[in-house]
């Protein structure tokens, strides 16, 4: 059993958000939908995205999401980056350096694994060029990172 579970507070869109995320992430499923009373509105949902459990509550408008908390998606290919960026970004807002806010206001970081590899290079000039290139991007483009990395 997962020891730490992200808990998401929505105004009244927990089920809608869950279904949105399930449509984007492979290997995802509904774990439970709880209602307030027998036929009442949805109170909370539990779901799994790529093996990670999430709990979402319809708690009312008191709290909003902030970029201070985000979910980091490790991507192996540009195709993966494009998929998550495009799908999570529908109705949302792109930000710099691979960050985006989805239509519910939840912040995601869509990041290719190549970025970490390039930034960790002991050649600080190469790593610096990659950092500079990334700082110019909204959606991260692996080919542009590689170009900056290999530049002489």
In 3D, which of 135, 75, 67, 76 has the Cα closest to residue 102? Answer: 67
Mean pLDDT computed over 36-61: 94
Q: Which residue has the higher pLDDT, 39 or 24?
A: 24
Q: Tell me if domain 1-63 and domain 65-152 are identical in fold.
A: yes
Superfamily of domain 1-63: 2,3-Dihydroxybiphenyl 1,2-Dioxygenase, domain 1 (3.10.180.10)
Does domain 65-152 match CATH 3.40.50.150?
A: no
- Per DSSP, the residues of the chain read --S---EEEESS-HHHHHHHHHHHSSS-EEEEEEESSSS--EEEEEEEETTEEEEEEE--TT----TTSEEEEEESSHHHHHHHHHHHHTTSEE-STTEEE-TTS-EEEEEEHHHHHHHT-S-HHHHHHHHHHHHT-SS--HHHHHHHHH--
> Domain boundaries in the chain?
1-63, 65-152
Residue-wise pLDDT for 114-149, tens only, equals: 999 999 999 999 999 999 999 999 999 999 999 999
From CA 81, how far away is CA 141, in angstroms rounded?
8
Is the pTM of the predicted complex or chain greater than 0.85?
yes
């Amino acid at each position: 059993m997962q020891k730490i579970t992200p808990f998401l507070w929505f105004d009244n869109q927990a089920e809608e958000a869950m279904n949105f995320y399930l449509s984007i992430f492979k290997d995802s499923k509904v774990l439970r939908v709880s209602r307030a009373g027998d036929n009442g509105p949805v109170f909370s949902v539990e779901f799994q995205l790529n093996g990670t459990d999430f709990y979402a509550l319809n708690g009312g408008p008191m709290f909003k999401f902030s970029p201070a908390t985000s979910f980091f998606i490790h991507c192996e290919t540009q195709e993966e980056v494009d998929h998550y960026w495009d799908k999570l970004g529908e109705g949302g807002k792109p930000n710099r350096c691979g960050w985006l806010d989805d239509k519910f206001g939840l912040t995601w970081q869509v990041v290719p694994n190549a970025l970490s590899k390039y930034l960790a290079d002991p050649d600080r000039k190469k790593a610096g060029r990659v950092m500079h290139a990334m700082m110019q991007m909204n959606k991260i483009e692996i080919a542009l990172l590689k170009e900056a990395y290999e530049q002489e």
